[in-house]
Amino acid sequence: MRRLGFFGAAVLLALTLAAPASAAERVRESGTFHSFSSGSFVCSGNTCTDTFVDAFSIGNDTLVVCFNEFTYNVRTGRGTSEGGCTETVESALTISDDFTVTLAPTAVTLFSCNQRRCTEGDTVTVSAADEAVGPIQTVTGRVTIKDGTCTIRISFSDRFAEVAGTMTIDGVTIDQQGFASVSEQTMTTTCR
């Protein structure tokens, strides 16, 4: 399911870049994109807390790091959530060839929400350390998108693996598991 998300991001990027490229006859761009998503699920009695850390590169050496936490009563379904995202340098996330993953400590400002409203809350520092717990898989492919007078050709090679380890939130370390991906993409836009 997450693999479709990575590919979908590539298609959205292609469509976003198509408009500026329409004045050019042929534009070729390449890039490597990293992503990491992990979660922890803890219940005590009727109260459960789901905690998520996500990080993904968006180009121009920029990484987006998001933290979300949901606390809810399993009987009533009522609960609260807090979360937020921040941009930092892409080097804050490293994924090695063997899918050892490290997310450097990153400050994220949170917004707390209940059934009525959201308010700006505290800033937390999040980090993570993981390693592959399943096989490293590879998916390659090509796609062609026609947008008016432009044709966009994308070739991609995605490597991904299930990972597990720990995340640390303001000095508190908890176990988590998730996925990591490294996607190499080349996009060629030709306009008439």
pLDDT higher than 90, residue 155: yes
- The structure's pTM equals 0.76
pLDDT higher than 70, residue 23: no
pLDDT higher than 70, residue 184: yes
Instruction: Tokens for 70, please give them.
Output: 């949901």
Domain range list for the chain = 2-191
From the CA atom positions of the chain, what is the Rg in Å? 19
pLDDT digits (tens, 9 = 90+) for 39-92: 999 999 999 999 999 999 997 789 999 999 999 999 988 888 889 999 999 999
Instruction: Tokens for 177, please give them.
Output: 């598991």
The larger pLDDT score, comparing residue 129 to residue 3, is at: 129
Q: Which of 5, 3, 24 is nearest to 150 (CA)?
A: 24
What is the pLDDT averaged over residues 96-107?
96
In the chain, where do the E strands start and end?
Answer: 26-44, 47-59, 62-73, 79-89, 93-95, 101-113, 118-132, 137-147, 150-169, 172-191
pLDDT digits (tens, 9 = 90+) for 102-153: 999 999 999 877 667 778 888 999 999 999 999 999 999 999 999 888 999 9
Question: What is residue 97's three-state secondary structure?
Answer: coil
Q: How far apart are CA 127 and CA 53, in angstroms?
A: 8
The backbone region for 77, taken as left when phi is positive above 0, alpha when psi lies in -120 to 50, beta otherwise, is: left
pLDDT at 26: 82
Residue showing tokens 């993953």: 101
Residue showing tokens 């303001």: 170
What is the pLDDT averaged over residues 4-31?
56
Q: Nearest-5° angle of CA 79, CA 54, CA 6?
A: 120
pLDDT at 179: 95
pLDDT higher than 90, residue 165: yes
